[in-house]
Amino acid sequence: MQLGLYQKQSIELVMTTELRQAIGLLQYNTMDLLTFIREQAVENPLIELEESRVDFKLDGEFSHSGGGSRRYYGENHVDPIDYVPRDENQLLDFIMEQIHCLKISDDERRILKFIILNLDHDGYLSVSTSDLAAWLDVDESAVDEALQRLHGMEPLGLGARSIPECLMIQATRRFPEDEDMHQVIEHHLGELADKRWKVIAEQLNTSIEDVSRIASAIASLNPKPCAGLFNEQPEYMYPDITIDEEFGDYTVTLGDHYLPKISLNHDYMSLKNVNSHVSSFIKSNYQQYMWLINSIEQRRQTIMKIVDTIIQKQPDFLKYGFTHLQPMTMKDIAEAIDVHESTVSRATRNKVIRTPVGSFEMGQLFSAKLRQHDSAYASSAQVKLLLKQLIEEENPHKPLSDQKLANQLKAEKDITISRRTVAKYREELNILSSAKRKQVV
């Protein structure tokens, strides 16, 4: 190896801090962008924010006449106060109210409440009774007795330690004399899920018709009667982009109306000539302010271009929904607006779009291309809906296998798809295999 000094000329892309932040800003949804702007305002004294006002427009007949009285406007009137969310956990309150109505000692009531507060979000008990007894410093028999009392409370299945136990609690109350059902729940749930009814009938020494009746009765039970016990907060979708249709024309609106207005603090700008340190500080923060303004505007223009292109490529989808979604990839959009595919990926990530046919994440609009015939393609979303429709219309006693579904798509819709792809789409749609969909009786 020879040591020496050499000159080398090369071209490479340097990711500056501003470029890296601009890329990150592009993939923010509106709520994340709001948080980021407020953080910038805290760090940069030159940034002033004027929070936007959200005006709630109420019905013209609804007015406040002074005082604390309320007025009645008829049965069809919608009172906006009715839509104020409640913070109370109604299911938990209902359970606690039952405990207070029981004629038990204070110690037993304390054990019951402690057990309830150690249930998971579905109302199941994942903690052992020995651990509960140790934490409460009581005998394990006292915990077992309280747990049995809890199993008799509403909703039935509360405090169960497994799905079979949850179903058994409900079955013993609703079907107390059906011993065959109790046997199926205790020993044959696996066979029941696999539709192996003949095996169950042989082991119980009964008919397939009776097993069918038992299966229908078990299906009426609820494996999660306490779903959302400690989690009742609804999740809302805040649309980042809205597409409205009027007389055949579409208008696009970004959901940034509640973002604060960003302006420059001129009081600090007047101090830029005080000395070199202050001048450097003001200059740096001013550049950051200009970068924020330009990046937000660049983000807005990129998203608008993408949505305008989607409107041009998907007119039928905006009228009829996913059954008419044409195959479209991010690369198609990137080529149409002359940007890199990664830019489209970041601009559509974490974004919710509201259209005349519903609200959903923008990523759902992009799908793979499946060959339909020589010059046309079908989207994967469209194929999934067609598969779901074929399965809904099939004979429940002779369900279609994955290969037969693929053949039927080819024969009826001229869509070429493999059996493995059918199985993949069926699993994504949470649809069971043909063997588990089959109804014996």
Position 218 pLDDT exceeds 50: yes
Reported as a single tens digit per residue, the pLDDT across 171-213 is: 888 888 888 889 888 888 888 888 888 888 888 888 888 888 8
By residue count, the chain amounts to 441
Q: Tell me, what's the pLDDT at 174?
A: 87
* Domain range 90-219, its CATH number among 3.90.550.10, 1.10.10.10, 1.10.10.1330, 1.10.600.10: 1.10.10.1330
The more confident residue out of 49 and 4 is 49
CA gap 107, 124 in Å, rounded: 22
CA-based diameter of the chain, in Å?
97
DSSP letters of 73-138?
Answer: --TT---GGGGSPP-S-HHHHHHHHHHHHS---HHHHHHHHHHHTTB-TTS-B-S-HHHHHHHHTS
Position 241 pLDDT exceeds 60: yes
Contact 398, 335 (CB under 8 A): no
Q: What is the mean pLDDT of residues 419-429?
A: 87
Q: What is the mean pLDDT of residues 151-160?
A: 86
HSE-CB for 191 with a 13 A CA cutoff? 18
SS3 assignment for 152-197: CCCCCCCCCCCHHHHHHHHHHHHCCCCHHHHHHHHHCHHHHHCCCH
Reported as a single tens digit per residue, the pLDDT across 24-56 is: 788 888 888 999 999 999 998 889 998 876 554
> What band does 374 get if pLDDT is binned at 50, 70 and 90?
low
DSSP letters of 226-293?
Answer: TTTSS--PPP----SEEEEEETTEEEEEES-TTSPEEEE-HHHHTTTTS-HHHHHHHHHHHHHHHHHH
Q: Tell me, what's the pLDDT at 232?
A: 53
The more confident residue out of 269 and 236 is 269
> What band does 428 get if pLDDT is binned at 50, 70 and 90?
confident
Pick the closest to residue 46 from 269, 328, 330 (CA basis): 269
**pLDDT > 70 in the chain, percent:** 85
**Residue 30 is encoded by which pair of tokens?**
């509106």
> What band does 223 get if pLDDT is binned at 50, 70 and 90?
confident
CA gap 186, 204 in Å, rounded: 12
Q: Tell me, what's the pLDDT at 204?
A: 85
369-437 matches 90-219 in CATH topology: yes
Q: Tell me, what's the pLDDT at 310?
A: 93
Place of tokens 């809302």: 236
> What band does 334 get if pLDDT is binned at 50, 70 and 90?
very high
The more confident residue out of 55 and 394 is 394
Q: Looking at 78-87, 134-143, 270-279, which range is the least confident one?
A: 78-87
The CATH code for residues 369-437 is 1.10.10.60
- Per domain, the residue ranges of the chain are 90-219, 241-365, 369-437
Residues facing residue 129 across a β-bridge = none
CA gap 289, 46 in Å, rounded: 7
Position 57 pLDDT exceeds 50: no
Alpha-carbon separation of residue 302 from 93, 240, 308 (angstroms): 49, 13, 10
Q: Tell me, what's the pLDDT at 66?
A: 40
Q: Tell me, what's the pLDDT at 59?
A: 42
> What band does 234 get if pLDDT is binned at 50, 70 and 90?
low
Q: How high is the mean pLDDT of the chain?
A: 81
Reported as a single tens digit per residue, the pLDDT across 63-120 is: 343 443 334 344 444 455 554 455 556 778 888 888 888 888 888 889 888 988 888 8
Q: Tell me, what's the pLDDT at 38?
A: 92
> What band does 306 get if pLDDT is binned at 50, 70 and 90?
very high
